[in-house]
Structure 1
Amino acid sequence: MEIRTLKFGDDLWNPIIEYAQNCSWKAGPVLAKQMQENVFIDWQRVFAAYEGQHIAGYCTITETDVIPSVSYTPYIGFVFVGEEYRGQRLSEQMIKFALAYAKNVGFKEVYLVSREKGLYEKYGFVKIDQKENSTGYDDQIFRITV
């Protein structure tokens, strides 16, 4: 499994847009739209996992997430693993890759928003807050030191 760092204009950018647009997760098309609109500027990136030439999953690191009016940054988001690649700890590998990237560009802490309970804690994240997101649901905010 190989994880690659992508930015707008990379050869693999459009295949990830197509993959996200057609994946089984309802947030996939949201990521595809953000990629098409090139909201990933400066240090923000998309990370994609590949098994050979096949896309296995993706995640992002961005300045903001779905909870408005909080000062936390940056966020790991859009963590998705294709059904045929689940059970191989790929989400953990992608998160570790994104955390290393964040540390390399100068961040000391990284945040993550999720409604999942018990998933991100096993990767070292600690719940620090809970807020209503932009769609009206309560989400947890997690933090990890890098």
Structure 2
Amino acid sequence: MLQIKALQETDPQWEQVCAYAAACSWKAGPFLAKDMTDHLFTGWERVFAAYINEEIAGYCTLARKDCIPDVPYSPYIGYMFVDEKYRGRRLSQKLIQCAMAYAGELGFSRVYLVSGEKGLYEKYGFTKLEEREDIWGNKEQIFSAAL
């Protein structure tokens, strides 16, 4: 059974998700784990964790900023990851929907997302706004979706 939890640092699952991110197969996972242990998710920012039968199946975040400096956009859905054994079940879509619903509850009218992927997020209602250089010097796309 699928369950998605919006986590903040005080939640009991925080450390479990942090450890999972640190050890996951995606190269950005350890960066999320570091952000979590460095207490960088504050206020309304959340880590969304998808669980299937109480096992972590994936995660994403909703945060004030992402890896592209000097842009006026916020909030960002970021750190989107689905475990290999759970892919093909539309977990990314469900995580995005939960993050978007939460952003709407906070009063935001749009959400943003940074990705190099082409054709992936458009099917979830995102449109490309522009391309910018991220903090590592890579060309990335900024996408937006209305809530």
TM-score, length of structure 1 as denominator length: 0.99
> Which consecutive aligned stretches of 4+ in structure 1 deviate over 2 angstroms post-superposition?
none
Residue of structure 2 equivalent to 1:141: 142
Supply the RMSD in Å over aligned alpha carbons.
0.4
User: By how many angstroms is 1:53 displaced?
Assistant: 1.6
Residue of structure 1 equivalent to 2:53: 52
Residue of structure 2 equivalent to 1:89: 90
Secondary structure of 2:32's partner? Answer: helix
Kindly tell me the number of residue pairs found equivalent between the two proteins: 146
Superposed, 1:1-146 pairs within 5 Å as: 1-146=2-147
- In 1, Cα distance between the equivalents of 2:22 and 2:61? 15
Secondary structure of 1:96's partner? Answer: helix
Deviations 1:27-82 (A, max 9, x none): 00000000001111111000000012200000000000000000100000000000
User: By how many angstroms is 1:94 displaced?
Assistant: 0.2
Structure 1 regions of 5+ residues with no counterpart? none
TM-score, length of structure 2 as denominator length: 0.98
Percent of aligned pairs with the same residue? 53
Structure 2 regions of 5+ residues with no counterpart? none
Secondary structure of 1:9's partner? Answer: coil
User: By how many angstroms is 1:110 displaced?
Assistant: 0.4
